[in-house]
Amino acid sequence: MTSILAIYGSPRRKGNTTLLLKKAVEGARAEGAAVEEIVLRDLRMSPCLEIYGCKKTGRCAIKDDFQTVYDMLLACDGLMLASPIFFYTVSAHTKILMDRCQSLWVKRYWLEKTPFGKKEFKRKGLFISAGATRGKRLFDGVLLTVRYFFDALDMELWNSLLYRELDFEGDVLKHQEYLEEAYAAGQQFFHALSSHDPP
Ligand SMILES: Cc1cc2nc3c(=O)[nH]c(=O)nc-3n(C[C@H](O)[C@H](O)[C@H](O)COP(=O)(O)O)c2cc1C
């Protein structure tokens, strides 16, 4: 069965990216995906301490909630990640997760010796984001960050849903078309992942 991990990176429980990701989860489930959800603000997760305890086995040495997330990240076929734009990048909650995944980067590039710049990925990721302003370059920084985060997870950035001019909690509810787009992206994501299932 195709398994998807959905990670909510907003500090808000009913924020814009949360509502969008919930729709994508609904869409994927409606098609038959098994979706597990993680709300980062509910976890106890230290930032990366840069001690490289992961160098031996590829597993982070800090014993906190990241250990469970690590296993879930390795087990899923695809990841749906949502984060608001904070100072042109992801939220602090999301960035802490990303930095802890340096352990997966170490596993992939140092321990398994994957060549740098390899363009084929075994898995896929969908990224959802929202920002308050409308600048042309609003998502430039975050897309670079997310692309390389997914790379460490052996995932290509399959698609990104990026919404400007959403500021207050629930602003996205004024845009049913965004929520519909997220639902459809969840459906399509499931099919994109399933097409790689063995017959
Ligand atoms: C700490 C902080 C930093 C922010 N930085 C930006 C920014 O650089 N650019 C922008 O357009 N909006 C910025 N915003 C606004 C949020 O991106 C916006 O409110 C978004 O809709 C929040 O999404 P959420 O409801 O999913 O958390 C910032 C908000 C906060 C609280």
Give, for all 199 residues of the chain, the pLDDT tens digit. Answer: 899 999 999 999 999 999 999 999 999 999 999 999 999 999 999 999 999 999 999 999 999 999 999 999 999 999 999 999 999 999 999 999 999 999 999 999 999 999 998 889 999 999 999 999 999 999 999 999 999 999 999 999 999 999 999 999 999 999 999 999 999 999 999 999 998 554 4
Q: Which residues line ligand 1 (CB under 6 A)?
A: 10, 12, 15-18, 84-88, 130-133, 138, 166-167, 169
Q: How far is the CA of 53 from the centre of ligand 1 (A)?
A: 33
pLDDT of residue 195: 84
pLDDT of residue 106: 97
CA-nearest residue for atom 3, ligand 1, is 86
DSSP 113: -
pLDDT of residue 176: 98
Q: How far is the CA of 131 from the centre of ligand 1 (A)?
A: 5
Q: Which residues are CB-neighbours of 153 under 8 A, at least 6 positions away? A: 73, 79, 101, 104, 123, 125
Measured CA distances, 43 to 9, 161, 173 (Å): 11, 25, 27
Q: How far is the CA of 36 from the centre of ligand 1 (A)?
A: 25
pLDDT of residue 29: 98
Backbone angles phi, psi at 19, to 5 degrees: -65, -35
In one-letter notation, the amino acid at residue 49 is: L
Q: Read off the tokens for 41.
A: 């603000």
d(CA 59, CA 21): 28
pLDDT of residue 82: 98
Q: Which atom of ligand 1 is nearest to the CA of 131?
A: 17
What element of type H or E holds 96? helix 92-100
Beta pairing, strands 34-39 & 123-130: unpaired
d(CA 4, CA 198): 17
pLDDT of residue 103: 98
d(CA 148, CA 98): 10
Nearest CA among 196, 188, 85 for reference residue 146: 85
Measured CA distances, 100 to 5, 111, 198 (Å): 17, 17, 32
For the full predicted model, state whether its pTM sits above 0.95: yes
Q: Which atom of ligand 1 is nearest to the CA of 135?
A: 11
Q: Which residues are CB-neighbours of 7 under 8 A, at least 6 positions away? A: 37, 38, 40, 79, 80, 81, 82, 94, 97
